[in-house]
Amino acid sequence: MKENRRGKAEEYNCRVCGGALHEFIDFGRQPVSNAFMKPDSPTGEVFYRLAMGICGSCTMVQQLNEVPRGVMFHAGYPYRSSESQRIRDHFAQTADGFLRGRLAAVDEPFVVEIGCNDGGLLETVHAAGVRHLGIDPSAGAAEVARQRGVNVRVAFFDEESAASVRRTEGPADLIFSANTISHLAYFDSVLRGVEVLLARNGVFVFEDRYLGDIVEHTAFDQIYDEHYYLLTVASVRAAAARFGLELVDAVRLPVHGGSLRYTLARPGTHPTAGAVAELLAHEEGQGLADLATLRRFADDAERICGDLVELLRELRADGRRVVGYGATSKSATILNHCGIGTDLIPFICDSTPGKQHLVTPGARIPVRPPEDFTDPYPEYAVLFAWNHAEEIMAKEHRFAEQGGKWILYVPDVHIV
C-alpha cells in the first residue's frame, strides 16, 4: 500500500488471484529497459514506477505497476537470444532432450513455443522434422526465426491467440517457453490459453528466473520492466491449480544467473516428481514467502548500489579508465536507480547490433561495439551481463592478460 499524490492510500491487488499485495522494494522512476535511443533523440522517454510486492494469498511476487506490453515488445525489440553461445547450446540441448524424451512417444507431435524470439530452440525442432509453431510479438525477431526455417506467428500468446492456434493447428503436445512467462502481466490469460491449447496428455514446460536465486545472490537488477513476476515453486503451483493445471516437476537451471524449469500438465495425467516437494521445503526454509525476507533483500540492494557508486567515484578520482560491458536490460535498473551516468561510465560495449551507436534508456550512456573495448583496453570494466560472466571473460581473455580488471556487483561489489 502506498500513498498517491492526493495523500490517499492506494491498494494493489494480485493479477493472478486478486489478493492484497505488500510492497517490499521501490526503485522509483525507471525507463523501459530496452528503449535504446539515438544520441540526438529528444527526451520524451516513457518512465514508470518500478516497485514490487508479494501477494498475501498466493505468494506471487509481482510489480505494482504495469508497462503496456506493446511498449516493451514490438517489431524493433532488440534482444536476440541466439547471440549468446551458451544460450544457443542450452536451447539445442533442451530441444534434443524433448525430441528424445517426451516427443519420441507421441505420433506426429505438435510443439508450440511462447516467445520464440529468433528461433534458437525451434530451429532444432524444425531440423528434426517435427511440426511446430513459434508465437512472438516481435516481427524483427520472428523474421530471423523464419530465415532458419521456423514457423512463426507474430502475436502475443493469450487465451484468444491460443484458441486460434487450436482451431487451425490442433492441440499441442508440448508448449514450451523460456524467459517469457514472467514478462506477461496477464498470467491468468496465458494459463487459460495453455489450458485451451494443451493436448490431453501434453505438458507445458517453461523456464524463468528464480526468486530463490535472486534473493540468495541479491541479484536485484533482475527486477526491471519486463520481469513482471519473480516466480517460485509455491506461487507457480498455486497459479496452475487456479486455472485447471497441475505442477508436476521443477528443475533448477544455471542459466541467466539461476532459473527454474517448471512442468505443468492436466491434473492426474502425469506423476508429480519428488523435486516439487523438495523445492517447496527449501523455499519455506529460505523464507521466500515472508515479507521480512524480501525487505532484507531490498536493504541489501541499496547497500550494493551505494558500494558500486562509491567504488566508481574513487576510481574516477584516481584517474582510472572505467567502461561498461553488456548493455543489458538489467543494467537499466542499476544505472538509473544508482544515478550512474557518463561521468562514471563513459560508454558500454555490447555485441548486439540493434543497440550499438544508441544510448541506454534513461542514463543515456553511449553503446559501442565490442571493438571499442580493445582500442585501447580500459583499466576496469563493469560487467552488467554478469550472468554471462564465464562466457564473456573467456571471450575477452586478453583484457585480463593486459592487466584489466572486471567489476561485478552480484552478490556484492567486488573486483576480479
pLDDT in tens, 256-283: 788 999 999 999 999 999 999 999 999 9
Decide if pLDDT at 9 tops 80.
no
Given strand 229-230, what is the order of strands in its sheet?
Answer: 21-31, 47-55, 61-63, 229-230
CB of 19 closer than 8 Å to CB of 13: yes
pLDDT tens digit sequence for 288-333: 999 999 999 999 999 999 999 999 999 999 999 999 999 999 999 9
The least confident of 9-18, 139-148, 158-167, 193-202 is: 9-18
With cut-offs at 50, 70 and 90, classify the pLDDT of residue 41: confident
pLDDT of 2 reads 47
pLDDT of 8 reads 41
Q: CATH 3.40.50.720 residue ranges in the chain?
A: 292-415
pLDDT tens digit sequence for 172-229: 999 999 999 999 999 999 999 999 999 999 999 999 999 999 999 999 999 999 999 9
- Least Cα distance to 106 among 131, 123, 124 occurs for 131
pLDDT of 81 reads 81
Give the span between the Cα atoms of 73 and 86, in whole angstroms.
Answer: 24
Total residue count of the chain as it appears in this document: 416
Q: What is the SS3 assignment for 379?
A: coil
pLDDT of 71 reads 80
**Longest C-alpha distance within the chain, in Å?**
67
pLDDT of 45 reads 86
Q: What is the DSSP letter of 14?
A: -
Give the span between the Cα atoms of 236 and 24, in whole angstroms.
Answer: 20
101: exposed, middle or buried (Cβ count in 10 Å: 0-12, 13-18, 19+): exposed
pLDDT of 255 reads 83
Decide if pLDDT at 47 tops 80.
yes
Give the span between the Cα atoms of 37 and 357, in whole angstroms.
Answer: 9
- Long-range residue pairs from 281-288, CB within 8 A, at least 24 positions apart, any chain: 282/212, 283/212, 283/232, 283/233, 283/234, 286/212, 286/215, 286/216, 288/59, 288/211, 288/212, 288/215, 288/232, 288/234
With cut-offs at 50, 70 and 90, classify the pLDDT of residue 5: very low
pLDDT of 82 reads 81
Higher pLDDT residue, 87 or 16?
Answer: 16
CATH number of 81-291: 3.40.50.150
- Least Cα distance to 410 among 385, 386, 394 occurs for 386
Q: CATH 3.40.50.150 residue ranges in the chain?
A: 81-291
> In whole numbers, what is the pLDDT of the chain averaged over residues?
94
Kind of pairing, strands 405-408 and 414-415? Answer: antiparallel
Q: What is the pTM of this model?
A: 0.92
Give the span between the Cα atoms of 232 and 276, in whole angstroms.
Answer: 11
With cut-offs at 50, 70 and 90, classify the pLDDT of residue 376: very high
Q: Which residues pair with 10 in a beta bridge?
A: 2
Which whole-number Å values give the CA distances from 50 to 131, 191, 269, 311, in the listed order? Answer: 40, 25, 39, 25
With cut-offs at 50, 70 and 90, classify the pLDDT of residue 4: very low
Which whole-number Å values give the CA distances from 307 to 322, 348, 407, in the listed order? Answer: 16, 20, 12
With cut-offs at 50, 70 and 90, classify the pLDDT of residue 3: very low
pLDDT of 26 reads 98
Q: What is the SS3 assignment for 40?
A: coil
pLDDT of 6 reads 36
- Least Cα distance to 73 among 161, 136, 158, 150 occurs for 136
CATH topology of domain 292-415: Rossmann fold (3.40.50)
- Least Cα distance to 379 among 326, 322, 311 occurs for 322
Decide if pLDDT at 44 tops 80.
no
Residues 75-98, mean pLDDT to the nearest whole number: 86
Phi, psi of 258 (to 5 degrees): 120, 110
pLDDT tens digit sequence for 340-375: 999 999 999 999 998 999 999 999 999 999 999 998
C-alpha of 318 from chain center: 36
For residue 74, the one-letter residue type is: H
